[in-house]
Amino acid sequence: MGGYEKLKIDMSRHFQASYPLEACGIITTNWNYVPCDNISPLPKDSFILDPVALLEHEEDTWAIVHSHPGDENPIPSEDDIASTVFKEYKFIVGFADKFFIYWFDEKLQILRYEPFEEQHLVNETSNPKIS
């Protein structure tokens, strides 16, 4: 099973196990999903990724991931969009088997948002932390 399919399965399992709370994690630069603790005081409505996990993977974090529990169309919220100020990461939101990737494209000065697909990993192979 390829990295992309394994990522989707790992994220989906974590998100479903955390339901009805928002789940969060990171994707490393070698395409592994690392589940993290959501330390938000309102975990049904928001997430705060445990900073210890981010520090542990400081040099190899490609994306920050979180769920929108039960959402059939998990698009980034306004709070999610604000997080793109951290330009060194991609961001993924999803639930079940639907995932969307979003990031701030500095070259175009716009928010990029699209379904998360295998091509996002392939395009990043030579330089996982593109700007």
Q: Tell the CATH superfamily of the 3-122 domain.
A: Cytidine Deaminase, domain 2 (3.40.140.10)
Burial code (b: 16+ CB inside 10 Å, e: under 16) for 87-109 equals: eebbbbbbbbebbbbbbbeeeee
Burial code (b: 16+ CB inside 10 Å, e: under 16) for 30-61 equals: ebbbbbbbbebeebeeebbbeeebbeebeeeb
74 residue type, one letter: P
Task: Give the pTM.
Answer: 0.87
Going from the first residue of the chain to its last (131 residues), give the mean pLDDT of each consecutive group of 10, the final group possibly shorter.
86 95 95 96 94 93 94 84 87 92 88 90 54 36
pLDDT at residue 82 in the model: 87
**Which H or E element spans position 36?**
strand 33-36
Torsion, Cα 70 76 78 82, to 10 degrees, reads: 130
How far is it, in rounded angstroms, from Cα 28 to Cα 11? 13
